[in-house]
């Protein structure tokens, strides 16, 4: 009431009486403004324009009367208080005015009662307004929340402590295919869950009404057909005394998400299975392709050495070269699959780079001279070294030189070895530049992708599977290096590889520290006059013949196809070296046979070379751990096998 100025309309024909009333109200402490009217017309006008908060009305006026004013006022606003202020009516009439809807009546001869009566009436009116406003607000906010809940994209369900449904929103009904009336008053888990899910739901509901908020997933049965996977977030509802009276749950349909998750899991499992299959397929393929290669490469090499007729000799060379190419392709595919399945084992060691470059370049001398090209090597520092895997690095360098030669018809190939400091780090820089066909800009990135070549399709101009640079790049990066390319079509290409340099002052000896591919501590003492005795356990006819022919001039090779026969023979005669194929016919494999032979008297320290077409990652380690002292993978070069055997037997 404080601070508010009220508007009071006085229906009175005697101005002095009106003044008296005003004075009375003032002295009662009321803040107000007032207007006086005495005709019906003016009254109605002020009712609409002055908008009074209270009306003081005389009972009888010359042209108007208080009861009519009361009637109009109540029509205008039921809560507009009208107080009769009159001198001429008796008590009975006064009570009649109250019955007709007046708030109060005050006699003119007792005006000191007017102030309190007006203040009381205005107070009541204010309270009514306040209550109406609060009710209005409540109604509005209820409407807001109801609309929100109805329109929500999630289902909302309220249940009591026995899971009896008290409220469901529209969305939930739509999701489950029921009308609201079909769900209300039903037990939620009985109507919406299969028997086997009900126990779980009841347990969860119990946890919720015990006061814990819960989030869980459950499969719910739709009215007509099918199921939905729902994610439920439920919370207890409390009454005024803080007792749990039920719970409210938000139901989100996550069926699609679940299906997508399951599809992802399935496809991951499938991919893993495929990967397992691929690995085992590759291992088998590798074995199956390598085994015949020993025959092709070995015999063509032997024929080439034996044959005198130049045409036939050339034919033998072609067979040998074709076999080599096939082996190379096979190796590339295997390398890529190892990289892709993260199964590549690196043996990083400080390597002298100049040595490897010189050795690699030597291999290409014949091809270079045949193509009328020049090969130039510029080595700025013979002592540069880096932490590298010998096989991978050699492969990368040789691949770049091989490509340079392959894609250049005239001019020269230049190999530079130098160093560079970038951001305080020293790098070894190897570049292979050619004056060949060059690579246009749009192809400079794709050539590093698997199976991509600049000239593709049926009219491609160069042989190769498009894996060389992919593998080179991966090898370089796995060893911590970088590969870049500068090229101009028609002018040539320069491939640059960089590796972090090892700063060392014992550079000259670095290459001495390299890990040796082949252990050579199992040397055998043979009496000068005798040829060493070698037992070769092998079931593949081509391999048997090739190895015998390769080694015939340095040792006596005895061949036996099974593990069982090998053990028997080793018991009967002492052999200086065992060559062991791993995949043998018969009951025993090569590793079992090796173990059994090494347990025989006098065989504890006998060297065993695993000769096998199992050339996948980890195979070599497996054979060495299984008792073999050396390992050579099929197909191998005559020189590789001969020098290994010579070294072991010291012949
Ligand atoms: P491949 O030589 O077996 O096709 P690579 O991955 O080694 O596979 O090379 C991919 C492609 O990059 C080649 O087919 C060729 O188009 C291009 N390329 C590679 N090196 C050179 C080079 N020195 N000069 C021109 N083109 C090259």
* Whether residue 192 has its Cβ less than 6 Å from ligand 1: no
21's tokens: 């009333």
Name the pLDDT band for 32 (thresholds 50, 70, 90).
Answer: very high
Give pLDDT, residue 45: 95
Length of the chain: 651
pLDDT in tens, 351-388: 999 999 998 998 888 888 888 899 999 999 999 999 99
Supply φ then ψ for residue 56, to 5 degrees: -105, 120
Angle at 53 between CA 50 and CA 56, to 5 degrees: 90
* Whether residue 405 has its Cβ less than 6 Å from ligand 1: no
pLDDT in tens, 437-469: 999 998 898 888 876 766 665 545 666 667 889
Question: Ligand 1 centre from 571 Cα, in Å?
Answer: 55
* Whether residue 470 has its Cβ less than 6 Å from ligand 1: yes
Q: Which atom of ligand 1 is nearest to the CA of 466?
A: 8
- 206 by DSSP, 3-state: which? helix
pLDDT above 60: residue 513: no
Largest CA distance in the chain: 162
* Whether residue 436 has its Cβ less than 6 Å from ligand 1: yes
Q: Which of 14, 59, 51, 15 is nearest to 33 (CA)?
A: 51
* Whether residue 402 has its Cβ less than 6 Å from ligand 1: no
Q: Indicate the helix (H) or strand (E) that contains 316.
A: helix 310-340
Closest C-alpha residue for ligand 1 atom 14:
453
Asked if 591 contacts 559 with a C-beta cutoff of 8 angstroms, the reply is no
Lowest mean pLDDT among 286-295, 308-317, 632-641: 286-295
Give pLDDT, residue 518: 33
Choose the residue to mutate in 375, 438, 466, 467 for probing ligand 1, maximizing ligand atoms within 8 Å of C-beta.
466
Asked if 595 contacts 627 with a C-beta cutoff of 8 angstroms, the reply is yes
* Whether residue 466 has its Cβ less than 6 Å from ligand 1: yes
Asked if 456 contacts 441 with a C-beta cutoff of 8 angstroms, the reply is no
pLDDT above 90: residue 650: no
pLDDT in tens, 518-563: 334 455 554 555 789 999 999 888 889 889 999 999 999 999 999 9
Closest C-alpha residue for ligand 1 atom 19:
403
Question: Ligand 1 centre from 479 Cα, in Å?
Answer: 22
* Whether residue 454 has its Cβ less than 6 Å from ligand 1: yes
- 638 by DSSP, 3-state: which? helix
Cα–Cα distance between 612 and 540 in angstroms, integer? 11
Q: Indicate the helix (H) or strand (E) that contains 495.
A: strand 492-500
Q: Indicate the helix (H) or strand (E) that contains 256.
A: helix 255-306
Q: Across residues 331-339, what is the average pLDDT? A: 78
Give pLDDT, residue 573: 94
Angle at 125 between CA 121 and CA 129, to 5 degrees: 170
- 172 by DSSP, 3-state: which? helix
Q: Which atom of ligand 1 is nearest to the CA of 452?
A: 10
Question: Ligand 1 centre from 217 Cα, in Å?
Answer: 55
- Whether the model clears a pTM of 0.75, i.e. scores above it, the answer is no
Q: Is 482 left (phi over 0), alpha (psi -120 to 50) or beta?
A: beta
Cα–Cα distance between 560 and 545 in angstroms, integer? 12
pLDDT in tens, 260-297: 999 999 999 999 888 778 777 877 777 888 888 889 99
Q: Across residues 191-220, what is the average pLDDT? A: 90
pLDDT above 90: residue 56: yes
CA distances from 521 to 39, 525, 574, 639 (A): 133, 12, 20, 20
Q: Across residues 127-146, what is the average pLDDT? A: 87
Strand partners, 106: 85
Lowest mean pLDDT among 67-81, 232-246, 499-513: 499-513
Strand 533-537 and strand 556-560: the pairing is: parallel
Where would I find the H helices in 235-254? none
Strand partners, 85: 106
* Whether residue 354 has its Cβ less than 6 Å from ligand 1: no
Choose the residue to mutate in 368, 411, 447, 473 for probing ligand 1, maximizing ligand atoms within 8 Å of C-beta.
447
Asked if 104 contacts 97 with a C-beta cutoff of 8 angstroms, the reply is no
């Amino acid at each position: 009431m404080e601070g508010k100025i009220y508007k009071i309309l006085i229906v009175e024909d005697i101005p002095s009486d009106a003044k008296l009333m005003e004075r009375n109200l003032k002295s009662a402490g009321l803040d107000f403004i007032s207007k006086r009217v005495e005709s019906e017309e003016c009254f109605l006008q002020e009712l609409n324009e002055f908008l009074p908060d209270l009306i003081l009305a005389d009972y009888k006026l010359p042209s108007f009367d208080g009861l009519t004013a009361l009637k109009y006022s109540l029509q205008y606003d039921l809560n507009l208080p009208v107080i009769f202020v009159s001198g001429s009516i008796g008590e009975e009439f006064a009570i009649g005015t109250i019955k007709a809807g007046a708030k109060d009546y005050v006699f003119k001869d007792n005006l000191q009662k007017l102030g309190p009566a007006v203040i009381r009436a205005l107070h009541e009116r204010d309270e009514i307004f306040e209550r109406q406003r609060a009710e209005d607000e409540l109604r509005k906010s209820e409407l807001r929340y109801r609309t929100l809940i109805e329109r929500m994209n999630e289902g909302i369900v309220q249940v009591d402590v026995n899971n009896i449904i008290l409220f469901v929103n529209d969305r939930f009904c739509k999701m489950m295919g029921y009308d609201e009336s079909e769900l209300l008053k039903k037990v939620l888990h009985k109507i919406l869950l299969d028997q086997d899910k009900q126990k779980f739901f009841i347990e969860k509901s119990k946890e919720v009404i015990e006061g814990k908020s819960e989030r869980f997933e459950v499969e719910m049965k739709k009215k007509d057909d099918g199921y939905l996977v729902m994610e439920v977030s439920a919370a207890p509802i409390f009454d005024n005394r803080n007792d749990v009276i039920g719970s409210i749950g938000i139901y989100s349909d996550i069926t699609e998400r679940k299906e997508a998750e399951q599809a992802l899991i399935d496809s991951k499992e499938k991919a893993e299975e495929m990967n397992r299959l691929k690995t085992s397929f590759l291992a088998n393929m590798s074995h199956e392709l390598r085994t015949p290669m020993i025959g092709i490469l070995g015999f063509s090499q032997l024929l080439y050495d034996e044959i005198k007729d130049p045409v036939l000799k050339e034919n033998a060379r072609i067979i040998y070269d074709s076999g080599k190419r096939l082996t190379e392709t096979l190796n590339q595919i295997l390398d890529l699959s190892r990289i892709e399945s993260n199964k590549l084992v690196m043996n990083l060691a400080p390597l002298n780079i100049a040595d490897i470059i010189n050795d690699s370049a030597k291999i290409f001398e014949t091809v270079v001279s045949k193509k009328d090209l020049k090969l130039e090597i510029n080595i700025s520092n013979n002592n540069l070294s880096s932490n590298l895997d010998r096989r991978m690095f050699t492969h990368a360098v040789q691949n770049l030189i091989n490509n340079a030669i392959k894609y250049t018809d005239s001019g020269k190939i230049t190999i530079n070895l130098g160093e560079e400091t970038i951001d305080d780090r020293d790098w070894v820089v190897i570049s292979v530049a050619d004056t060949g066909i060059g690579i246009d800009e749009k192809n400079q990135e794709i050539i590093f992708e698997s199976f991509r070549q600049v000239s593709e399709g049926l009219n491609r101009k160069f042989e190769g599977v498009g894996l060389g640079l992919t593998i080179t790049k991966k090898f370089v990066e796995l060893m911590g290096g970088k590969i870049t390319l500068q090229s101009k079509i028609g002018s040539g290409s320069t491939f640059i590889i960089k590796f972090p340099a090892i700063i060392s002052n014992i550079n000259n000896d670095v290459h001495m520290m390299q890990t040796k591919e082949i252990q050579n501590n199992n040397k055998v003492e043979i009496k000068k006059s005798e040829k060493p005795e070698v037992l070769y356990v092998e079931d593949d006819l081509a391999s048997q013949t090739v190895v015998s022919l390769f080694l015939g001039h340095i040792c006596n090779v005895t061949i036996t196809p099974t593990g069982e026969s090998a053990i028997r023979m080793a018991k009967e005669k002492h052999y200086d070296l065992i060559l062991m194929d791993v995949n043998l016919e018969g009951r025993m494999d090569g590793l079992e046979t090796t173990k059994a032979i090494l347990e025989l008297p006098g065989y504890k320290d006998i060297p065993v070379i695993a000769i096998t077409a199992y050339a996948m990652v980890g195979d070599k380690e497996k054979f060495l751990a299984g008792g073999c002292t050396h390992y050579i993978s099929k197909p191998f070069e005559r020189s590789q096998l001969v020098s290994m055997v010579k070294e072991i037997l010291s012949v």
